[in-house]
Amino acid sequence: MDSLVALEDNLRILLEQYQDLQQQFLSLQDENQRQRDEIMRTHSELVQLKTEYNHLETAYALVADTAESEHRDKVKQRLTNLIAQIDRALNALAQ
């Protein structure tokens, strides 16, 4: 009789543990999907920033020879900011 009670107790414990694991699994799946969505968003942002950077780099090359020093400094600062944004996006993807 004691072994039957012990078996029932063990089965109840196993069932509770199984349900807990199922809940953890669902939670991890949700977190995985959120992280995948974030990676996709960050990747899209990175592609957009790279495109903008390339356009600005081309524009800078066109005006670098003829532009005034002040204008070149503004363009250079903008390029520096874009590079920093790209670096942040790459770091976010690496994590």
Per-residue pLDDT of 37-47, as tens digits, reads 999 999 999 99
Q: What is the Cα–Cα distance from 21 to 72, expressed in whole angstroms? A: 60
pLDDT tens, 38-92? 999 999 999 998 898 888 887 777 666 555 666 777 778 888 888 888 888 888 8
Q: Which two tokens stand for residue 67?
A: 């532009």
Distance CA 25, CA 77 (A): 47
Fill in the amino acid letter for 1.
M
pLDDT in tens, 4-35: 899 999 999 999 999 999 999 999 999 999 99
What's the rounded Cα separation, in Å, for the pair 85 and 63?
23
